[in-house]
Amino acid sequence: MRKSPSISICIAIWLTVFCGSNPPGGTIFAQEPKPGTRAQKPPESAGAVHEIYGAVRTVEGSRLTIETRSKKIMQVDISKANDQHRSIVPVVGRAVVARGTYDKAGVLHADTIQRAKDSATLWPEDK
């Protein structure tokens, strides 16, 4: 029985794609960074959306004080989230995730606020 050339071509293409060998003159996969080099963080643009997890420490109207996993105290304004019906009723001592933008004073103006797991070890890093 004779091998068909199309089968050989298919096997060669499969090996190239799934085994990671790159064809001459081009690459198929993104290159891994070289050891010892750092990936550059993209610059933050004005109005970038941030996400913080923390436990509610105080509630004063539409202003919350949240303590993050790193024990940092953050001020969060939830008036916009309340107006758009994208907010839970915050409870002191319970964990929340707030998404929004910072103003020049460092206050997070939340677009949404949701419940989060009460265990800080389950929270992802703040963005």
User: Using 50, 70 and 90 to split pLDDT, how confident is the model at 48?
Assistant: confident
Q: What is the secondary structure of 27-77 as a DSSP string? A: -SSPPPPPTTPPPPPPPPPTT--EEEEEEEEEEETTEEEEE-TTS-EEEEE
Task: Identify the CATH number of the domain in which residue 62 sits.
Answer: 2.40.50.140
User: What is the pLDDT, as a whole number, of residue 90?
Assistant: 92
HSE-CB of 15 using CA atoms within 13 angstroms: 7
Q: How many structural domains is the chain composed of? A: 1
Domain span holding position 93? 50-117
For the stretch 66-92, pLDDT in tens is 998 888 999 999 999 999 999 999 999
For the stretch 94-118, pLDDT in tens is 999 999 999 899 899 999 999 988 8
Please indicate, yes or no, if residue 1 is contained in any of the structural domains.
no
pLDDT over threshold 90, residue 7: no
Please indicate, yes or no, if residue 40 is contained in any of the structural domains.
no
Ramachandran angles phi, psi of 62, nearest 5°? -100, 20
Q: In this structure, what token pair is assigned to residue 72?
A: 């940092």
Q: Is 25 helix (H, G, I), strand (E, B) or coil?
A: coil
Please indicate, yes or no, if residue 80 is contained in any of the structural domains.
yes
